[in-house]
A and B are shown apart, each in its own frame.
Chain A
Amino acid sequence: MATGNLALGQEQGQLSAHPRVTNDFSINVATVNGSGSQSANSVLLKSIFGMGVPVSGKNLFPSNIAGLPTWYIIRASKDGYVARKRESEVLVALNPDTAREDALAMPVGGVAIYEEKLDLKQYRDDLVFYPVPFDKITAAVCPEAKLRKLVKNMVYVGVAAQILRIDLGLVESGLRKQFAKKQKVFELNFGAVKAGFDYAEATFTKQDPYFIERMDETKGKIIIDGNAACGMGAVFAGVTVVAWYPITPSTSVVEATTDLLKKFRVTPEGKATFAVVQAEDELAAIGMVLGAGWAGARSMTATSGPGISLMAEFTGLGYYAELPGVIFDVQRTGPATGMPTRTQQSDLLSVAFLSHGDTKHPVLLPGSVAECFEFGCVAFDLAERLQTPVFVLSDLDLGMNNWMSDPFVYPEKPEDRGKVLTKEDLDRLGGFARYRDVDGDAIGWRTLPGTDHPKAAYFTRGSGHNDAAGYTEKPDEYQEVMERLTRKFESARKLVPGPIAVKDGTSKIGFIAYGTTDFALRESMDQIKKEYGTDVDYMRVRAYPFAHEIHDFVASHERVYVVEQNRDGQLASLLKLDLAGDQVVKLRSILHYSGLPVDARTLTEEFATKEGL
């Protein structure tokens, strides 16, 4: 392969073969799990963000504590694209086990910053090579041998900053913030950054076309992961009882929730206005959530696929006995144990119909960290208003990766605690029937245990019951309750977050998607327009049951591609159950389910093939 043109040795965009590429490339940092690269990656990401360049970070990590390969991909995109890109133009190679495959995966003309001993030149010669003696540099700035493994990561931050022209001052302030109360740790780490930077400056002449340049696109924005955003939503919703069992990738939802509860929800007397219980398993977690919801608390759990399966029986009880509770499901790759640290959107069907018998549940589908916060909050209002378990369906990509966002909006609407009768109400009414539809919205009134009135009590059960909560096996009484539950689901349809018509123009073709598929789809739509001149409309679904606008969207298009990250087209299936017969035939699927977050190019190619473009 010809390489001469790539190594021009001149700076400032004089590369004729490769014109200057500014703020539009990905950096792939290939390390070993457990080597402590997270702080380094984070500071690199935030420095680019600090330069006003839209950026996203994805951690592709193994289900392992230490020793297996892990990749952190930072994408800078002047156009604001935040989905995964198939190829990374810049590689930081530190893992001997994957160095060869990492190098071979790069596009021609890419940049390889690597541990010199790995000798990447042996695999190909059409990259720009920046070999760095990481160990030597690290040893010089870090006398304490056992810290070197961690500090080494900062050296690549320095090298990358120098080569890509990232502002060293921002790296410094980022590190200062990260190690706010640990001056010595800061000094050690920044020393390593500086050593890497100086080494690159003294050793290399820039031979590649990749530059980070200041923009003004991130001002006022925040960076946060979806799990932290969900936790924040729950805390601002006023959650009081949290019961959970650790499971990847949902664990940090509860960790974030707990941290914030400790910070904001302790009285001046030092007492907690909350309870967090690490349960013995997911069965117990959901049992506690429903018990707490029954007794009047705002309760939640967070889990992922296997936990969802274990919660099935209880969720059916929640549906039938009409108990509020919020369940965050951060989806991972199934089935079975699957790939716990990889992403997918494959729990939708099981969550929507979780449990035996005729059951269905409201499912909120956040498509950004801002919606993780918003829906994380609103889910509690819905659960209490509808007196039923409500799911918030996120995924690993959204939950565990860093995303840019506008700052979250404080919930100004007061908490909606739903229909609860007090002692005074009972004095006035003389009694009540727990499951009777007195308001025409199919939602009954409930009382909380402890209500000081002899007529307050009722019997909650998962067995057949009539509208007065009495045990029944009478066909008409049983059916009356089941029919009301169907009507209640229709009430839910009007209360859950409606869809967003991202693009509703005059196209005959439409896209429907939800959650993290949105990021890649928006980019793909631009590619489709640019490369094929085709406009496609797009509606992003934000909850189940589906609002009527979704039916209208399908009705107003000739064909609709449902784009999602699972093998079986679960969203399409769910839509088909909801749509009229003549509409169902309009749906077709574009699917991606490898465990990696979907990328725009895959969608564009798939669309072009299906459309015969």
Chain B
Amino acid sequence: MATANATPKVNHIGLPILEYRGGKSTLCAGCGHNAISERIVDAMYEMGVQPERVMKMSGIGCSSKSPAYFLNRAHAFNSVHGRMPSVTTGAVLANRTMTALGVSGDGDSASIGIGQFVHLMRRNLPMIYIIEDNGVYGLTKGQFSATADLGSKLKTGVINELPGIDTCALAIQLGATFVGRSFSGDKKQLLSMLKAAIAHRGTVMLDVISPCVTFNDHEGSTKSYKFLQENDEPINEIGFVASFDDIEVDYDSGQVYDVEMHDGSNLRLRKLLEDYDPTDKANAVRTLMEAQEKEEILTGVFYIDTQKETFIDQLNMVDEPLATLPQSLTRPPKSALDSLMANLQ
């Protein structure tokens, strides 16, 4: 038991984990989303991210409520169903110095929001995009979403006749530069992945399978705790060493794949699937498509590219946030208007 004058443990910017917490969750007890919120808290704390430097973005749905349950000290924007990508794009353009963390769901991203999802991935906008993926609509009481697997069964006995959209394969094909899948129940894997996501510059797309205890956790579901525990097949084991950790990384070219991240951190992917190369785009997509055919659930970091230009780079913007540029930089002088007028006479 802690004594009254014990100093709470703090991270490398001097904040205790308490400062990363959010409000009390109003989701169902046991909902996978709550575990994801906890991992976000852990990752932000461990990475020493200043909470005020984060923008929490979401759409509509159970998943999209979750930004209220972590990082109370960060601005949050719970927007419109399926439209979190555009709102985030605008916000990041207004202030490129912020870390944007978007939380969406499978309905929010793969059904109503697939158009914005697709175009966000194309742009490689610097942000972390998390899909809390449970294959069903919770708030409207358990209809299939577009990520539900072919043949999976609803509580009512209805069988899904359509193939699920693999958001990871899609994201890789379209241009996201850090794509992975995890399971809300795999604390270690998810935490490492989130920490690496924070260190990445570009679009990170993480599909986190997150069982819905109320509508999709029964026999016949392919997104239940039991099914995931039995069928989760990691393709790599993720080790992450942050730049400030001051740990010498011992590069080992045989069984591991080392990635130097934008901020100097190291991401180590220990190969579990033979010869899997996470920088080979075509192979990544093929691996995912084959897994879908074999009804396997692969997890891990499928694809990473630390070199690709981001949308911000392409726009060649000033380093300062556009939002707070002074008028001297945003309003051209009177002489500019005078010359335009003279030219129109």
Q: What's the least CB distance linking A303 to chain B, in Å?
A: 14
Give the chain B neighbours of A287 by CB distance below 8 A.
79-80, 83, 85-87, 89-90, 116
Contact of B331 among A222, A237, A463 (CB under 8 A): A237
A274 to B316, CA, bound (A): 9
Interface residues of B in 164-205 (CB under 8 A from A): none
Is B52 engaged at the interface, CB distance under 8 Å to the other chain? Answer: yes
Give the chain B neighbours of A284 by CB distance below 8 A.
83, 85-86, 89, 115-116, 119
A459/B78 contact (C-beta < 8 A), A224-B344, A240-B325 known: yes
Contact of B90 among A241, A265, A313, A452 (CB under 8 A): A241
Contact indicator A275/B74 (Cβ below 8 Å): no
A271/B331 contact (C-beta < 8 A), A296-B321, A450-B321 known: no
A241 to B52, CA, bound (A): 22
Give the chain B neighbours of A448 by CB distance below 8 A.
75, 95, 323-324
Is B55 engaged at the interface, CB distance under 8 Å to the other chain? Answer: yes
Give the chain B neighbours of A407 by CB distance below 8 A.
341, 344-345
A456 to B322, CA, bound (A): 19
Is A460 engaged at the interface, CB distance under 8 Å to the other chain? Answer: yes
Contact indicator B80/A299 (Cβ below 8 Å): no
A235/B332 contact (C-beta < 8 A), A294-B87, A454-B73 known: yes
Contact indicator B78/A462 (Cβ below 8 Å): yes
Name the residue in B55, B77, B319, B336 with the highest tally of chain A Cβ atoms < 10 Å from its Cβ: B77
Contact indicator A313/B332 (Cβ below 8 Å): no
State the B residues within 8 Å of A (CB). 19, 50-53, 55, 67-68, 72-80, 83, 85-95, 97-98, 115-116, 118-119, 315-319, 321-325, 327, 329-332, 334, 336-338, 340-341, 344-345
Give the chain B neighbours of A415 by CB distance below 8 A.
327, 330-331
Q: Report the interface size class on chain A.
A: 35 or more
A447 to B324, CA, bound (A): 12
Contact indicator B119/A297 (Cβ below 8 Å): no
A380 to B307, CA, bound (A): 37
Q: What's the least CB distance linking A300 to chain B, in Å?
A: 11
Supply 10 A–B pairs (Cβ within 8 Å), ascending by A. A222-B345, A284-B116, A287-B79, A288-B86, A294-B77, A295-B321, A317-B80, A408-B341, A454-B52, A457-B73
A408 to B91, CA, bound (A): 32
A296 to B96, CA, bound (A): 12
Per-residue CB proximity of A217-243 to B under 8 Å, as 1/0? Answer: 000111110000000100111111101
A294 to B57, CA, bound (A): 12
Contact of B86 among A224, A283, A410 (CB under 8 A): A283
Contact indicator A290/B90 (Cβ below 8 Å): yes
Contact indicator A236/B332 (Cβ below 8 Å): yes
Q: What's the least CB distance linking B59 to chain A, in Å?
A: 10
A170 to B193, CA, bound (A): 70
Contact of A241 among B94, B118, B336 (CB under 8 A): B94
Contact indicator A297/B93 (Cβ below 8 Å): yes
Contact indicator B86/A240 (Cβ below 8 Å): no
Name the residue in A237, A265, A313, A461 with the highest tally of chain B Cβ atoms < 10 Å from its Cβ: A461
Q: What's the least CB distance linking A308 to chain B, in Å?
A: 16
Contact indicator A291/B90 (Cβ below 8 Å): yes
Q: What's the least CB distance linking A467 to chain B, in Å?
A: 17
Contact indicator B119/A280 (Cβ below 8 Å): yes
Contact indicator A222/B341 (Cβ below 8 Å): yes
Contact indicator B316/A292 (Cβ below 8 Å): no
Give the chain A neighbours of B51 by CB distance below 8 A.
454, 457
Give the chain A neighbours of B324 by CB distance below 8 A.
296, 448
Give the chain A neighbours of B340 by CB distance below 8 A.
232, 260
* 10 closest cross-chain pairs (CB), A and B: A291-B90, A287-B86, A296-B323, A238-B330, A297-B94, A292-B90, A295-B94, A291-B87, A288-B90, A222-B344
Contact indicator B329/A462 (Cβ below 8 Å): no
Contact indicator A450/B53 (Cβ below 8 Å): yes
Contact indicator A236/B331 (Cβ below 8 Å): yes
Is A366 engaged at the interface, CB distance under 8 Å to the other chain? Answer: no
Give the chain A neighbours of B332 by CB distance below 8 A.
235-236, 260, 264-265
Per-residue CB proximity of A273-290 to B under 8 Å, as 1/0? Answer: 111110111011111111
Contact indicator A411/B331 (Cβ below 8 Å): yes
Q: What's the least CB distance linking A122 to chain B, in Å?
A: 43
A514 to B319, CA, bound (A): 43
- In this complex, what residue of B is CB-closest to A232? B340
A274 to B329, CA, bound (A): 10
Contact indicator A293/B90 (Cβ below 8 Å): yes
- In this complex, what residue of B is CB-closest to A377? B331
A299 to B93, CA, bound (A): 10
- In this complex, what residue of B is CB-closest to A177? B343
A572 to B37, CA, bound (A): 53
- In this complex, what residue of B is CB-closest to A314? B80
Give the chain A neighbours of B337 by CB distance below 8 A.
232, 236, 408, 410
Give the chain B neighbours of A457 by CB distance below 8 A.
51-52, 72-76
A452 to B323, CA, bound (A): 15
A461/B78 contact (C-beta < 8 A), A223-B344, A240-B323, A295-B95 known: yes
Q: What's the least CB distance linking B220 to chain A, in Å?
A: 33
Is A458 engaged at the interface, CB distance under 8 Å to the other chain? Answer: yes
A456 to B76, CA, bound (A): 11
Give the chain A neighbours of B74 by CB distance below 8 A.
449, 457
A264/B336 contact (C-beta < 8 A), A291-B90, A460-B78 known: yes
Per-residue CB proximity of A418-454 to B under 8 Å, as 1/0? Answer: 0000000000000000000000000000011111111
Contact of A296 among B85, B94, B331 (CB under 8 A): B94
A408 to B345, CA, bound (A): 12
Interface residues of A in 538-590 (CB under 8 A from B): none
Give the chain A neighbours of B334 by CB distance below 8 A.
410
Is A272 engaged at the interface, CB distance under 8 Å to the other chain? Answer: yes
